[in-house]
Amino acid sequence: MSVTDSAFAKNVAAVRGRVSNGPSDDRRTLSTRRRLAMLALSIGGFGIGTTEFVSMGLLPEMATTMNVSEPSAGHLISAYALGVVIGAPVIAILAARVPRRVLLLALMVAFTLGNLGTVFAPSFHELMASRFVAGIPHGAYFGVAALVAAHLAEPGKRAKAVAMVMMGLSIANVVGVPVATWVGQSFGWRSAFGIVTVIGALTVAAIVAWMPRLDGMPTTRAITELGALGRPQVWMTLIIAVVGFGGMFAVYTYIATTLTDVSGLSKAFVPVALMIYGLGMVAGNYAGGQIADRMLIRGMYISMTAIALSLFGFAFAAQNPYTALLFVFLIGASGSSMVPGLQTRLMDVAADAQTLAASLNHAAFNLANAIGAAVGGAVIAAGFGYTAPAAVGGVLALGGMVVLTAAVMMQKKSDAKAAL
């Protein structure tokens, strides 16, 4: 049994208030508690994924209720993303010394309260404020959850463990987002965020019940975490996420109207389309975890190429409902396949500043979300139509590949200097 496994087994014994009877009992208890701990983290990811993406599926309804245009309503997406971008580094730095279990609980309580505010927001400006607040815990939660997962993982399976946590986010797009979208369309968009509030409360309960104390997982200091900002490879990895994923969000933000007005699908079919996107995310997330553990950098190239091809293809495929749905799946799969690799890459290059680096990864994704929503809204408002964001998105994905190449070249030069 590894040092990590042994520490985790002791945590398990402490939580259950008893000591196991032997090595086989230790392993069974360890395996069960690890699964439950991962499940608790995944439920949180499920809630976060639901609230983040259901806004895009319900954007037309939210725009109508608040008496604003759909491109203006797209600012709600940007507000949430901005909360993530600001909240991730601030929380990671200020909460560096907070025990990881306590921090996870605090983040999910804040997330739950933020979504409760969305349910009752009376005006558009207050709705934007509530979306900003709901986004603040997002990046820090996923960053800490990824580190906890890696801490609990078996040797050589870090990326797979991170993918397990991110699976909640992917499954949200198969179940949570379509169901919440249907509920929002049927009973008002506020009811969808009511569902998210309940999921947040369930996550808090699951962490309390299933997450061990994580005594073997050390905390850090604010000054240590700030060290991540002085590492060029951390910045390059974050830029890859911002540039490479911006195009995907440019398409997804306006996916509901694209599928109805361009592809000819009925409004009632939009939740099914979102489910198809979610299935793509599940497949891509699973494949991405497997690939990243075997060939990290090459796998990132494969994923980025797939993102570019799927976005360029959607610009043409959107004209037909069948090909549109196929490429919706491919966009979800290609984008999600990149996430475990990026998260693992950040853990590799961040050294002892992993909490901030891991949190910044999700801040980068949501900065990409904000940029994508803004760029997509701009080209639509300029009269280029709802397929234009896909073409722009493909260009952004190619830009991400350029940044990845530059990062690899920088790393080789740095390694060569260190070897002299």
In the predicted structure, residue 352 carries a pLDDT above the cut 80: no
The pLDDT of residue 163 = 77
Question: Span 178-199, mean pLDDT?
Answer: 92
Identify the three-state secondary structure at position 81.
Answer: helix
Six-digit token pair at 390?
Answer: 């896909």
Task: Express each pLDDT in 155-168 by its tens digit.
Answer: 666 677 777 777 88
Tens-place pLDDT, residues 42-96: 999 999 989 988 887 788 889 988 888 877 888 888 888 888 888 888 888 888 8
Q: How confident is the model at residue 206 (pLDDT cuts 50, 70, 90)?
A: very high
- Are 104 and 316 in contact, with CB atoms under 8 Å apart? no
| Assigned token pair, 315 | 């610009």
Residue 132's domain is classified under what CATH number? 1.20.1250.20
The mean-pLDDT minimum among 141-145, 318-322, 364-368 falls in 364-368
Cβ count near 77 (within 10 Å):
28
Per-chain mean pLDDT for the chain: 83
Domains held by the chain: number: 1
The pLDDT score that the predictor gives to residue 28 is 53
Report the candidate in 294, 288, 401 with the shortest Cα–Cα distance to residue 339: 288
- Per-residue confidence band for 8, with pLDDT thresholds at 50, 70 and 90: very low
Owning domain of residue 409: 3-419
Model confidence, pTM: 0.71
What pLDDT does residue 113 have? 94
Ranking 163-177, 302-316, 318-332 by mean pLDDT, the lowest is: 163-177
Higher pLDDT: 349 or 165? It is 349
Cβ atoms 71, 380 nearer than 8 A: yes
- Range 195-198, long-range pairs (CB < 8 A, 24+ positions): 195/50, 196/47, 196/50, 196/51, 196/54, 196/115, 197/112, 197/115, 197/116, 197/119
Closest CA to 250 of 120, 377, 363, 162: 377
Residues 153 and 415: their CA atoms lie apart, in Å, by: 28
Does 22 have pLDDT greater than 60? no
The whole-angstrom separation of Cα 61 and Cα 73 is 10
